[in-house]
A = this chain, B = another copy of it.
Amino acid sequence: MSKQRILSLTLAVAASIAVSGAAYGLDSKEPIQPIAAAKTKNPALAELGKKLYFDARLSKSGFISCNSCHNLSMGGTDNLKTSIGDHWHEGPINAPTVLNSSMNVAQFWDGRAADLKAQAGGPIANPGEMGFTHKLAVDVLQSIPAYVAEFKMVFGSDQVTIEEVTKAIAAFEETLVTPNSRFDKWLKGDKKALNANEVSGYKLFKESGCVACHNGPAVGGNSYQKMGVVEAYKTASKAEGRSAVTGKDADRFNFKVPTLRNVELTYPYFHDGEAATLKQAVETMGRIQLGKKFSDDENARIVAFLKTLTGDQPSFKLPILPPSSDLTPRPQPFGK
């Protein structure tokens, strides 16, 4: 049953390779394609979104911004097993990287948000994350003259709305792609970009079946898969995955396959953050998803390949946020 599943996935991937490989004019048909640099359609919208992404006034406490858990200094994650929320709430799940997240089939580990815009509103209003409400967040922004002016410039209206807020944040997040990894250079024909050990790790990654789920430009992010295909995954995490969205028992422990782009930066790994290192993650994945026990040498070669997936990190000036006015509701970090 599980081998059949892998086979059908592999066939599906092979079909997609035939299409997408050609688009890049690559010599060989590879299951992973290079990432293209971001083309920003509306720079003013993305610039506004950048400010909002860094603005902790979208939280009840005034202390937590999008960047707190999806930190762009640290691979778009917080590098914690699970995240810290309002009043130091212990989050239930590992914060996925925001880098290249526009390529995901859907957002969150269980795919409950269709796109980045739908995602962006979630943490603001989650009591265990930013702990605010959409109305209060909008009230704060509406009280800040420089924001009102910027929203008006971008959207043409005097009235700030949560739809505008999430649209702007999503537009900024769409710029957070990471092209020019050594692996992408190699894919594009620069055969010196990887050493023999890394190329051998890539071959093993393909031959072992990792690529059945981790494929496409984001090396993942484009399907849901069961965590524990060959062997059940043991975890204290209560996250049930896709079934929480679909209500189907068959979707239990199905999670969105994470991107492996920049994976050297996005530790710890898995939805529960229980794999501290790439070595552990590769060992577990081989065992529970593929029924393989990689030797130390094989594991090290796959890890060496994975470290070639780190691309250019987003490069921009730290945004300077407009000050609150006398009318701005003050943050409530220690209120009930």
Contact = CB atoms under 8 A, between A and B. Distances in A.
Interface of A: 54-57, 61-63, 68, 71-75, 78-80, 84, 87-88, 90, 264-265, 267-268, 276-279, 313-321, 323-324, 326, 330-331, 333-334
A331 B316 CA distance: 27
Given A73-B318, A318-B73, A318-B317, A267 B87 contact: no
B63 A331 contact: no
A334 B80 CA distance: 10
A80 B60 CA distance: 12
A10 to B, nearest CB: 31
Mostly, the A contact residues are loop
Q: Which of A68, A90, A276, A321 has the most CB of B within 10 A?
A: A321
B80 A333 contact: yes
A279 to B, nearest CB: 7
A277 B327 CA distance: 9
Quick one: copies of this chain in the complex? Answer: 2
A100 to B, nearest CB: 16
A73 B321 contact: yes
A265 B325 CA distance: 10
A318 B321 contact: no
Contact of A320 (B73, B88, B326): B73
Given A61-B84, A73-B321, A90-B333, 7 more contacts: A54-B73, A56-B78, A62-B78, A75-B323, A87-B88, A267-B324, A313-B320
Contacts of A56: 71, 74, 78
B62 A80 contact: yes
A318 B74 CA distance: 11
Contacts of A68: 63
Contacts of A265: 323
Given A90-B334, A318-B72, A318-B316, A267 B61 contact: no
B80 A331 contact: yes
A283 to B, nearest CB: 12
B279 A326 contact: yes
